[in-house]
Structure 1
Amino acid sequence: MADHRLSEKFDELSEKAKESADKLKESTEHEKDQMKADADAARERAAKSVERVKDSVDSAADKASAQWDDIRTKWKDHVEKLRSTIAEKREEHDIKTAERYADAAEDYALDAIWFAESAIEEAAAACIDAAYARQEAEELKASSS
């Protein structure tokens, strides 16, 4: 049934979040150069994830709402602008600039976590709505027979 598939996908999301949290904890114990490499790798994974979302949205374009497409576009633009700003600040070396960069990077991380949390809650609601709709369709099908 569709609700089992959705539940499995939601479980995969939980596992991915745990894997990312483990990578974060591991990375924070690395030396600065390794942390930079970890950050580069994380950005590459995030970029691939954005492309997977884009491909998924594109393949279901006639089913996806324009509102979600707009959110995805705005989020991608936001991420690109912030990364550009962070990259520029990274080139500056004074302590105050480094502190502002750290603050901006932390704020960005919190924003990304908030966005992910919101997306998870929305995904959970969508899965439950889908399971309910499937159950209702099955009941209507059974009662019309």
Structure 2
Amino acid sequence: MADNRLSEKFDALAERTKESASRLKASAGHEKAELKADAAAARERAASAAEHVKEKADDTGERISSQWVELRSQWKAHIDKVRSNIAQKKEEHDAKAAERHAEDAEAYALAAIWFADSAVEEAAAACLDAATARAEADALNS
């Protein structure tokens, strides 16, 4: 993949991140029912993005590292477990349980942000490694 295509993909990632941040900011003033709908839509987008990763991994076949496939599987299992825990906690009705649930959900959101930040930095490094490898291949072929 040419260096400019990698850069374009990275720019698209940045744009999607900005769009997500805008949706999150817009949700700040929403009431509980609206927030619930916003969260459902976000989960749907996340599931779609995860499916897209799976399709891309399937498309690359043997070229993709088995570590990435394993990481995706572990991340999906983690998300499923957290969502299950959140669903269970939603069934609790007292104020202390609701407070604990809110704190757990906020901690999970921070962890997901930190993970995403790390993934973005890894993607940037991978793009630069790919550009370097392409430059080396072009130099050897010329």
TM superposition score normalised by structure 2: 0.97
Stretches of 4+ aligned residues off by more than 4 angstroms: none
| Aligned residue type for 1:8 | E
Identity of aligned residues (%): 61
The aligned residue for residue 121 of structure 1 is 121
The aligned residue for residue 38 of structure 2 is 38
TM superposition score normalised by structure 1: 0.95
C-alpha RMSD of the superposition? 0.9
The aligned residue for residue 13 of structure 2 is 13
* Equivalent-residue separation in structure 1 for 2:107 and 2:59 (angstroms): 33
Q: How does 1:11-90 map to 2 (within 5 A)?
A: 11-90=11-90
* Equivalent-residue separation in structure 1 for 2:105 and 2:5 (angstroms): 36
Deviations 1:44-102 (A, max 9, x none): 11011111111111111311111111111110000000001001111111011101110
Deviations 1:1-54 (A, max 9, x none): 700000000000000000000000001111111010000110011011111111
* Equivalent-residue separation in structure 2 for 1:58 and 1:109 (angstroms): 28
| Aligned residue type for 1:45 | R
| Aligned residue type for 2:36 | K
* Equivalent-residue separation in structure 1 for 2:31 and 2:61 (angstroms): 44
Deviation (angstroms), 1:115: 1.1
Structure 1: give runs of 5+ residues left out of the alignment: none
| Aligned residue type for 1:99 | E
Larger mean CA deviation between 110-119 and 76-85 belongs to 110-119
* Equivalent-residue separation in structure 2 for 1:108 and 1:57 (angstroms): 26
| Aligned residue type for 1:48 | S
* Equivalent-residue separation in structure 2 for 1:5 and 1:134 (angstroms): 12
The aligned residue for residue 100 of structure 2 is 100
| Aligned residue type for 1:11 | D
* Equivalent-residue separation in structure 2 for 1:100 and 1:55 (angstroms): 37
* Equivalent-residue separation in structure 2 for 1:86 and 1:70 (angstroms): 24
Structure 2: give runs of 5+ residues left out of the alignment: none
Deviations 1:97-141 (A, max 9, x none): 101110110111011111111110111011001101111111111
